[in-house]
Structure formats: C-alpha cells, structure tokens
Structure 1
Amino acid sequence: MKVVKLICLVGFVSLSMMACKSKIEPNNLESRSFTDSIYSNSLSEYRKHRIYLPPKFNKDLNYPIIYATDGNSPITDKKEILDSLINGELIKPLIFVASFQNSKIADSTSTITGDGKKVYLSYRNFEYVDRKPERVEDSLLVDRFENHKSYFVDELITSIEKQYTQNLNKNDRYFYGVSNGSGFGVSLLNSNPSLIGTYICFSTFGGDIQSNFWHSDTKYPNLYLRYGSEEPFFLKDDAQYIQEKYAEFQAFIEIKTFEGGHHNKFWEIEFTNVISDIFKREK
C-alpha cells in the first residue's frame, strides 16, 4: 500500500512539474519587445533603450546583436519585421537594442532655417553629430558628443551583454542608424573600428566622413550604406568619398541608392533587405 502511495506521489509531483513547465515555456516561444534603462555616468542621467529578444530566447546561447540609435521612434520599431523573418526561418535569431534619443530642447541653441525661421535644436543633434559648439552659452554642450559616445560604447553595450550573458566579439555586433543616427554610426566606425563588425547606415547626415582622418593601417568594419535618389547631393558626395577610402584599405562596403527621399518608409524596406542578406539562414 505504501509503495502504491509513493508511486502516486511521484506521479503527482511529475505532473505538477510538467504543468508548471508548460506554463513557462509558451512565454519563451514568443519574442519580447520592451523598454529598459541604465544610469549613465558619462551623461549623469538615466537613459532608456528599447530591447527586442527573439522567440525562444535562451541566455545560455549567444546571439548577434544590432545596436541602434533613435530607440523612441518608429524608425526602430522592428518587432513585426524581425518576428516575420525569424519565425519564417529567413534569418537567424538576433537581439535588437535601440538607445533612446534625447529629444529635449537644448535651450541655449538656435539655428536659422532656409526660410528664415529660428528653430532650437534638441540634445539629439549634439549627441549624434559632433557640432563642436564654442559659444559660451553652449558650454554644457561642448562635451555632449564625446560623453554620449562614451555612454554608447562603454556603458550601453557592456551593460546589455552582461545582463543577457552574451559573450560576443566584434563580428557579433552590428550597428543600425539613419539620418543623424547614421552620422553617429559613421563617426563611431572611424573612431572605434574594433568595437562593432558591421554598420548599416542610411541617409547619413553628419559623421564628418570627409574631414575625419582615415588610417591606412586600420581594418575598418563592414559598411552597408544607402541613400535616396531624392536626397541632398552631399550624401552622394560622401558616399563616393568613403567608397574610395574603403577601396584603398581593401575593406568591405556596399553602397546603393534607393528610389525616394529622407523617410522611414524607404529605410524600412532597405533594412529588411540588408538584414535578410546578412543574417540569412543556411538551408
């Protein structure tokens, strides 16, 4: 009788464990997209970021990670695209992390547009582009670009890879940015070439492509560069310049022009095409 009771008890415990397991596993079958934050010593403030974890995410496995700018924007709302490509087994599972832009107006700044209107710039303009402010009233912005770069390089990337136990090297890291965010990427590519292996940069505004110093003995990261047929002429000039530099250094670069202007509806198509190529699953 005791043996029967023991068997029943073991069976009950096993069923209970299976039931609990079945409640947990379905949650891991779905991807997750959410907002998190870290405190940045470089910027002396909390900074948010958007995170996408793929279906069946497992901390015991390593995943390629795309680090992006403009996290609080539709530009980086990639859950639907990534879910479709990953669940359709068109690309490998990956993690997508997009740092929020600081859209707060930097009150001391102003610029005059082509139509004569006076507009104030946000901190984003000084974090993504090295504008080198020199006016006394802009003293709080002088180091903003370098401080933001320190946050991105030394705090955000380190924090994410520690939190999700990702043991990655340069070739496992990717960057995605558009407009000024792309400019930040090109600056990072130039100044920290050993950090991220591949850059996806669209419609690049800023980045000091032609004024930066390019080292002939440096192995620069892979670069996928895109710009629109209806965008300003200087994007084409910058693309031609960096293409010549990459050819000189024998580094990989792919430059294409898409039909259209400076808008996310075009960038989204290009993003899908590029990552479908980079992360293509082997049949």
Structure 2
Amino acid sequence: MKRIFILPTTAILFILCVTSCVSIEKAIEKPNSESKIVIDTIFSTYLNEHRIISTYLPKGYTNENTYPVIYATDGQIIIDSYAKSLDSIIATKVIPEFILVGVYSNETIVPNSEFEYRNFEYIKDWADENDTLLNSRFSNHFKFFSEEAINLIEKKYSVAKSKNGRHFYGTSNGAGFGVTLGSENPDLFSNYLCFSMAGGNYGNLKWTESNFPYYYLSYGSEEPFPLIIAIKEFDEFLTQKKFKHSLNIYNGGHDRKLWKKEFLKILPEIIK
C-alpha cells in the first residue's frame, strides 16, 4: 500500500550523506540532562547499502541501567514526532524509561515501477518471481533488521538483549513486516504492536504453545476495505489457534496521528 511520507527524498539523501561519516560514539557514562535522539548509519552487508537508525534515549539514560527497547520500522517518521510525547509520559511516571529505535526504510522508487524498495522489503513474495533482485529484498532486509540493526543497538547502548525486554512496532506495510517477522522468528520480540497491518504473511508459522509472541493489532474504522478484511482474517487465525492477542478498532483511517495515539495508549501495557 502506498504511503505518504513526511521527509522529502532530498532531505533523506542529505541526512544520509551527513550521518554516513559519523562513527559510533563512545559509550554514554553519565545520565542525560535531557532526552536525546542519536542518528547512526550502518552499512548492511545483506542489503549492500547504508541505512540510517535513529535512537531515542530518555532523559535519565545511563549505562548503569538496562532498558527495555522497542524497535520500529519506518524510523524516519517515528522518532522525531514521538519524542516530546515520550518525554512527557516518562516524566509523569506513566511508564518507566525505555529506548525507542527507528530503523529507516528505503523510500527510493524502483526503476520502471510506481513502488518503493520499501514495499518489497516489507512484503514477502510481492515481487515477480522472475525478478531475482527484488525477490531477494525481503529476505535481505529481514536479516538486516533482525541481525545487523539489533546488533548495532545492543553493542552501543545498554538495552535488553533477550526477548522479554525487546518489542516491535510497525504501521501499514511496516506492520505487515512485523507479522511475518514474528511468525518466522518468534524468539526475537515478546510483543508486536502492528497497526493498520498491510501485507503480513503468516504462512510459515514457527510458533509453539510456549514461544509465540503477543500481538497488539489495531486499525481504523475508515481503512480501505481489503486491508480490514486481511486484519480480521489474521485476528480470526490467532483466535482459532488460541494465541493470545488483542484487536482494537479506532475511529478514523490510515493516519499517522492516530497510530501515534494508539502507540502511546498501549505503551503502559508494554513498558512496565
């Protein structure tokens, strides 16, 4: 599903050029006087390209503590717009301190196509079966996200390194990616916040009665009908299999502001 993004392509390219020269910072030893957003770049050997990762560190961050962490798809539209709200609910003790990591997607338009590389990275088996390069995008991004991006964060910051302290957040195609990711690698994250899921694949389910993750599903009453049908089918699948999950329907459509509202509402159930 095509999405509208806040940052223009020129801005993203500028950020990439600037941050690609930034080396990994030294470990933070003293608590932050203010929250901060750190931008890193990583060269993915799987994707054979640089990727940007933005990390929200709470005001009291220190290496002496280990923080729960949420890894989000489409980091370019997550971190900056969420920071002030996270500052507020952490300061008022609604939730404890935690770290939010936004992994950027590739919004470049595929040559001779109306779609972005992002679509092929998030949706499994979406490319023409004869297009080897595009077909490999999903599996390569899958490994980049679940291995390279997480390894970078775990080496640089004092974050949880086990399933219980790691969580996933995605919207639209990014949420669909989360459904596929959790189905095929159930020991990576304990909770998946998947809003307005588009393109999820759970045909290769590798869950057992003891290791399945918890899915928080949410969508708007005014979403496109095919998307609603797909989410309801996933909800029914989880219900039939007796996998615990939740489904919420909010008033509205495919809207970033509403996704943010849902995210902040669910956070106290995730970060305790």
TM-score w.r.t. length of structure 2: 0.83
Asked if residue 57 in structure 1 is aligned to residue 61 in structure 2, the reply is yes
1:223-263 CA-partner distances (Å, limit 9, x unpaired): 10001000122333333333333334433201010000101
In the alignment, is residue 164 of structure 1 matched against residue 157 of structure 2? yes
- Identity across the alignment (%): 39
Distance 2:85 2:147 in 1: 29
Q: Corresponding residue for 2:11?
A: none
Query: What's the counterpart of residue 17 of structure 1?
Result: none
- Is the contact between residue 47 and residue 144 of structure 2 (CA under 8 Å) also seen in structure 1? yes
CA shift, 1:167, in A, is 4.6
Q: Which among 211, 217, 223 is matched to residue 231 of structure 1? A: 223
Query: Which residue pairs with 1:123 in the alignment?
Result: 117
Q: Deviations over 1:88-121 (max 9, x none)?
A: 111010000011110111104x2xxxxxxxxx11
Q: In 2, distance between residues paired with 1:270 and 1:195? A: 23
Show CA shifts across 1:34-85 (max 9, x none). Answer: 3111111111111101110011101121111000011112576311111011
Distance 2:126 2:226 in 1: 20
Aligned mates of 2:197, 2:133 — CA distance in 1: 26
Partner in structure 2 of residue 5 of structure 1: none
Rounded to whole Å, the distance in 2 between the matches of 1:163 and 1:74 is 20
Bigger mean CA deviation after superposition, 227-236 or 34-43: 227-236
Larger Rg: 1
The SS at the match of 2:133 is helix
Q: Match for 1:185 among 166, 170, 178?
A: 178
Distance 1:216 1:270, change over 3 A: closer
> Following the alignment from structure 1 to structure 2, what is the Cα–Cα distance between the partners of residues 124 and 141?
11
**3-state SS of 1:155 partner:** helix
| 1:261 corresponds to 2:253 | yes
Query: Of 159, 169, 178, which aligns to 1:176?
Result: 169
Deviates more, 1:230-239 or 1:99-108: 230-239
State the AA in 2 paired with 1:82: L
Deviant stretches of 4+, over 6 Å:
none
Alignment partners' CA distance in 1, 2:171 and 2:108? 19
What's the CA shift for 1:132?
A: 3.8
Q: Is the 8 A contact 1:42 1:150 kept in 2?
A: yes
Query: Aligned-pair distance for 1:213?
Result: 3.6
Name the counterpart of 1:102: 106
Query: Any conservation in 2 of the 1:62–1:168 contact (CA below 8 Å)?
Result: no
What secondary structure, in the 3-state scheme, does the structure 1 residue paired with 2:199 have?
coil
The Cα of 1:215 is off from its aligned counterpart by: 4.9
C-alpha offsets along residues 170-214 of structure 1, whole Å, 9 cap, x if unaligned?
Answer: 0101111100111111110111011100000100110124xx143
Distance 1:124 1:192 in 2: 20
Correspondences of 1:124-163 after superposition (within 5 Å): 124-134=118-128, 138-163=131-156
Residues 236 and 75 (structure 1), Cα distance of their counterparts in 2 relative to 1, 3 Å cut: farther
Which residue is 2:47 aligned to?
43
The TM-score, its normalising length taken from structure 1, stands at 0.80
Shift in CA distance, 234/75, structure 1 to aligned 2, threshold 3 Å: farther
Q: Distance in 2 between matches of 1:215 and 1:229?
A: 31
Structure 1 Cα separation of the partners of residues 204 and 139 of structure 2: 17
Structure 2 CA distance, aligned partners of 1:153 and 1:140?
20
- Aligned partners of 2:164 and 2:232: how far apart in 1? 25
Distance 1:132 1:230 in 2: 25
Residue of 201, 205, 209 corresponding to 1:214: 205
